[in-house]
Structure 1
Amino acid sequence: MTKHPSPSKQSIVMLSSPKGGVGKSSLSRNILVLAAQSGRQVLGLDMDKQATLATWAERRERVRASIPAVSHIPVHRASLDDWRSTLKMARQSSAGFIVIDTPPSIEINMTAILGLCESSDFVLVPCQQSQDDLDSVIPWMRHLKQSGAKAAFIINRANIRTRSYATIRSKLLNVGPVCPVEIAQAEEISLANGKGLGVMDLSRPKNAEAFGALWSYLRQELDL
């Protein structure tokens, strides 16, 4: 029997990292697509001034004009300075699944970022296979743990065949939980993004198994 989402259950997932270019926006839109395809009403909150997630959603709406089967994914542009009222609006909306995309340079408004983290049900901290990424995300995970936020690293643009993958994963595990699903570097991810789509919108995506596993992981962590 298919288990349908409870209309009263609202979950908030936040993508956060002090490091720029780690794939917060890419993961945000693909998670939104996964949630929408599972039958949930979704909402994205784009807190980054670059508005990458919101721009993607606008492209998606243009695609929907010719392909209505593509799921509607609304994204609200917002400012970190106005995070409380934005979060209140989101909680009062009919969305059952909310994804918050945040900017790097979190020290600019640490109070707002920590407030959002503490208000979220789960925080994903993307990290790539480099020492620079480790130097950035490890202190941030310690902050999150001290604040009581439920959080986990996710290794993005991974290459599991390299020695650095095992090294990076081991060092992350010494600090906090690591999502058991890594997202590989894949051309289809950027291809889908450029069209206003997620990987799972594509026909026979090569990374379907990984993204399906990511959704299963999130469902378990959020008790959906």
Structure 2
Amino acid sequence: MADVLEKPRKGEDVRPKGRIGRRLLITSPKGGVGKSTTSRNTAVAAAVESGLKVAILDLDPQRGCVKWFAMRPDDKVVAVDMYDGAIEKFEDAFAEMDEDYDLVVIDTPTSVEEHKGAMKRLILSCDAVLIPTGQHWDDTKSVTDWMRYVRSCGARASFLLNRCKPRTKSFKEARVALLKAGPLCPVEVPDREDIPTLASAGLTVVDVNGMKSSDEVIGVWLHLKNEMGF
């Protein structure tokens, strides 16, 4: 994986121009690790916990964030804005944003190998990269190779153990394997039903008082907040 994508040339600047404070990229070559879930949870946590003006940019052809946003009861929860686009033309999606945003959270497709040039440009355009992963061997092997490439671009990146079972042996083994490849978010998100249940109503655990996973989701955001210098 680390050698699949062309490395950026030294000094290359591909940051999209626009009225956007910071950009957070959620990416992983592995499917089923919760990229879209992490994108919308993080966006809402940033808006609720830090009072930021936040947008989500959905570049995944499955449009999981867009479908979630269509169900969101915007009269009862904190507002986040939604945009979508094609990964090969993500610069056009940024250009269409007609409001000022403190943060844009970017959801991406799984098949990064099919978007070599666009992924390189996208990584370089962002202030931080979060790589969600499960805790089993096939998950960690895929994402550790990807982390090496992302870091070779000079990006500030960290892993997120997501949908995990912290009391298991494989969880402990995953932490060690990931830390050998790069930084690990100090807060993991356990495998609980409240996150997918609320997602089916256009909500996150941060939108509803008393949800068990809200502390972990907010903790992930606080880690990213520090990484991006808010």
Correspondence 1:77 to 2:65: no
Give the aligned residue type for 1:97: L
Partner of 2:162: helix, strand, or coil? strand
Show the counterpart of 2:70: 58
Retained in 1: the 8 A contact 2:21–2:102?
A: yes
Partner of 1:72: helix, strand, or coil? coil
Shift of 1:102: 0.1
Shift of 1:27: 0.5
Shift of 1:212: 2.3
Equivalent residue in structure 2 for 1:87, among 76, 94, 97: 94
TM-score, structure 1 as length reference: 0.90
Q: How does 1:152-191 map to 2 (within 5 A)?
A: 152-191=158-197
Correspondence 1:35 to 2:46: yes
Q: How does 1:1-224 map to 2 (within 5 A)?
A: 10-37=21-48, 38-60=50-72, 63-64=73-74, 68-90=75-97, 93-224=99-230
Taking the aligned partners of 1:146 and 1:88, their CA distance within structure 2 comes to: 27
Taking the aligned partners of 2:95 and 2:223, their CA distance within structure 1 comes to: 27
Shift of 1:203: 2.3
- Once the two structures are superposed, what CA deviation does each residue of 1:143-199 show, in whole Å capped at 9, x if it has no partner? 111111111110001111001111111011001000001000010000111110111
Aligned residues: 211
- 5+ residue gaps, structure 2, are 1-18
Taking the aligned partners of 1:136 and 1:147, their CA distance within structure 2 comes to: 18
Taking the aligned partners of 1:87 and 1:148, their CA distance within structure 2 comes to: 22
Taking the aligned partners of 1:76 and 1:22, their CA distance within structure 2 comes to: 22
Taking the aligned partners of 2:186 and 2:218, their CA distance within structure 1 comes to: 12
Q: CA RMSD in A?
A: 1.4
Shift of 1:208: 2.3
Taking the aligned partners of 2:66 and 2:192, their CA distance within structure 1 comes to: 22
